[in-house]
Amino acid sequence: MDETNPVDASTGDTARSPELASSAAIPDGLPDDLPPVEPPSAGFIVQLFLIPGLIVVAVIGVWALFGKLSSSEQDWRELVQEIRSSNEHRRWRGATGLAHMLRADAEMRESGQNLAANAQIAKELTALLTELLDETSRDEELISQQSFVTRTLGWLDSYETVLPVLGRAMQPEQELIVRADAIRSVAVMSGRAAERDQPFDDPQVSELLVDLSRDKEPLIRQAVAFTLGLIPGDQIDQRLRVMAEDSDRNTRVNAALGMARRGMPDGFRIYVDVLQNVSESIDPETMEGRTPEERLSEARQRENMKLVILGNTLNALQDISGLLSPGQREQALGLCRPLADEHPEPRIRIEALNAIRTLTAGTTAD
């Protein structure tokens, strides 16, 4: 699966999960003072999501922090009851358990329970996020909780229930990371819908995202550019062209990659810029951080992001190779050949070779 594609989801079949009985009781033997389950900190999440192109890797990484929980190991009804508990520890055990279960069920595809379409799970998780957004404090623990639940909603397909609260989480009064996570959750939902050949098409959400594409925060514009690339519509095409001129480089790159996924060659000059600057070094001393170790860690993360961008750019060239002029293909080939021969990362050499083959086939066809 392409790293630019957030699809890794349920089958799209109608819900098969039985309805939750309103009188279901909390299982016997569960103590009220369970040890806390702490979601990742907001700072950690910010570092993971500097570039929305990392959305799939990052979301899966967060899920992996808690181990893998198959849907057969615990009933979703029990976890819903946990979320309803007044005990904070039990509520978070329920929330993290449902996050695991949704992910595991999506991986099972046709053999799963299609929990993504379970209306009761959507109702409980959106109610939890609404409660968290209503909190007036802005401490780090609350922000990390808001962020965690916001990302979890991306695994649900109950649009009428989920989208309004995600729209609220995107608003400027919310924390930056929560806003970006809400946008990425729409990206995950959109990608999953595209995999089912049911393109995500909600005019209100599209209009909100177009508005947010003008946001003052680069991180928001980056996330929007990535997400718009997964939503159909001529208005979206035009907005991506505008975003490809953004002052923020990562926003330009995400807009160009989004256009490639839509079969638009308009981002070619941005791909050329990425390939021409592939050897640009990142100096740890210029990174943010209080200690040399923190700055070195930041530099390494930036290097990893560069690799993701480079790999996605090579994939984009393959997607639009048939739409390029002979001169553009020759320029792209000239930039890809050194990568195929000399790049230290094997996966980049492989992607470069694939791009060369595709671009050469286009030249032959001419």
The count of other CB atoms within 10 Å of the CB of residue 160 is: 9
Neighbouring CB atoms inside 10 A of 72's CB total 12
Helix axes 203-212, 218-228, angle to 10 degrees: 140
Q: What is the pLDDT of residues 62-120, one digit of tens each?
A: 444 344 434 344 577 777 777 777 777 777 777 788 788 888 887 777 777 888 888 98
pLDDT at 74: 54
Higher-confidence residue of 314 and 20: namely: 314
How many domains are contained in the chain?
1
Asked if 205 and 186 count as a contact pair (C-beta separation under 8 A), the reply is yes
Q: Give the span between the Cα atoms of 273 and 52, in whole angstroms.
A: 19
203 vs 37, residue with greater confidence: 203
pLDDT surpassing 70 at residue 7: no
Closest CA to 126 of 86, 171, 80: 80
Per-residue pLDDT at 56: 43
* Separation CA 294–CA 71 (nearest Å): 38
Return the biggest CA–CA distance within the chain. Answer: 72
Does residue 177 have a pLDDT over 60? yes
More confident residue, 288 or 306: 306
* CA-to-CA separations, 60 to 7, 161, 241, in angstroms, rounded: 12, 24, 30
Q: Read off the pLDDT of each residue in 42-53 and give the average, rounded to a whole number.
A: 42
Alpha-carbon distance of 226 to 56, in angstroms, equals: 12
Confidence of residue 364 (pLDDT cuts 50, 70, 90): low
Answer yes or no: is 197 within a domain.
yes
Instruction: Give me the pLDDT at residue 243, please.
Output: 97
What is the residue-averaged pLDDT of the chain? Answer: 79
pLDDT at 366: 56
For 253-294, the pLDDT digits (tens) are 999 999 999 999 999 999 999 999 988 777 777 777 778 888
Structure tokens belonging to residue 281 = 């070094």
Q: Which residues span the domain enclosing 141? A: 1-13+33-207
Within a domain: 48: yes
Q: Please indicate, yes or no, if residue 282 is contained in any of the structural domains.
A: no
**Is 234 within a domain?**
no
Domain contains 242: no
What pLDDT does 169 receive? 97
CB-CB contact of 83 with 98 (8 Å): yes
pLDDT number for residue 84: 72
pLDDT-above-70 percentage for the chain = 78
Tokens of 165: 């609260």
Query: Would you say residue 199 lies in a domain?
Result: yes
- What are 184-236's pLDDT values in tens digits? 999 999 988 888 888 888 889 999 999 999 999 999 999 999 999 999 888 89
The more confident residue out of 162 and 45 is 162
Residue 345, in any domain of the structure: no
**pLDDT at residue 26 in the model:** 32
Classify residue 328: in a domain, yes or no: no
